[in-house]
Amino acid sequence: MEERSKTESRQSDIAVFVKRKLMSLQSNPNDAAVRAILAKMRRGVGEQPGAIPELWDMLFTDLPESLEGRGSKPSRAEWAIFTALTLFALHQQGKRNLESEFMFQEKNTFGRAVAQLISRNLDDTEAIIKRFNVAVSAADLTGFSWYLRNIIQLCKREDIPIDYAALAKDLYDYQNPDWIDGVRLKWGRDFYRELSSFEHSENDGAAGMPETGSNE
């Protein structure tokens, strides 16, 4: 019970930390400074936490002690936070207005975002589902992150945001072999719930359309 409580506390700390970092970017009135920060963050995509000194501030400033690693290897929390923040920077690339084009949106989970991709690219449904299945079948965080980058590029093209605070929590859990299937289950539920919602709305819209043709 105590270990579970510690885990839930770390998950909450991860989400709060990531959200605070991203909201501080959105509220920064210096657009040039924000663009420079995001460009710097993008250089960390695919790298190991701590490997790039210019990103230490992003990762370690105000990081709760409970999330810090010990020794020469990053902690699971540091991996999750670093991956989420750098991928957000990739997602935000090319979006000038952080007020109206902010690619962080709470409750729009990874699974929901992928379903939204399908709703805007119906002809590519099979290909998107295949990408999703391949990504979530990755054996570890490194493999998953590589596939995730491709999906984020698609979301960027369609202006579909992701809840990066929730994603960071998921990335933390993804590194534990005992929890990885639970993360996949959650993503699958979110994906098919959102997809079903879209399909129902489409069917309801079609049913409500007036008949065409002559009544003569």
Q: List, in order, residues 6 or more apart from 49 with CB less than 8 Å away.
A: 59, 74, 78, 79, 81, 82
Q: List, in order, residues 6 or more apart from 60 with CB less than 8 Å away.
A: 68
**Which ranges of the chain does DSSP label H, i.e. alpha helix?**
2-26, 31-42, 56-60, 76-92, 110-120, 125-136, 141-157, 164-174, 180-207
pLDDT score for 215: 45
pLDDT in tens, 26-52: 999 999 999 999 999 999 999 999 999
pLDDT in tens, 46-81: 999 999 999 999 999 999 999 999 888 999 999 999
| pLDDT-based confidence at residue 216 (cuts at 50, 70, 90) | very low
Q: CB atoms < 10 A from the CB of 35, how many?
A: 14
Question: If you average pLDDT over residues 132-147, what whole number do you get?
Answer: 97
d(CA 35, CA 142): 27
Half-sphere exposure of 168 (CA within 13 A, CB side): 32
Q: Which pTM was predicted? A: 0.90
Is residue 209 over pLDDT 60?
no
Whole-number mean pLDDT of the chain?
Answer: 92
Is residue 207 over pLDDT 70?
no
Is residue 143 over pLDDT 70?
yes
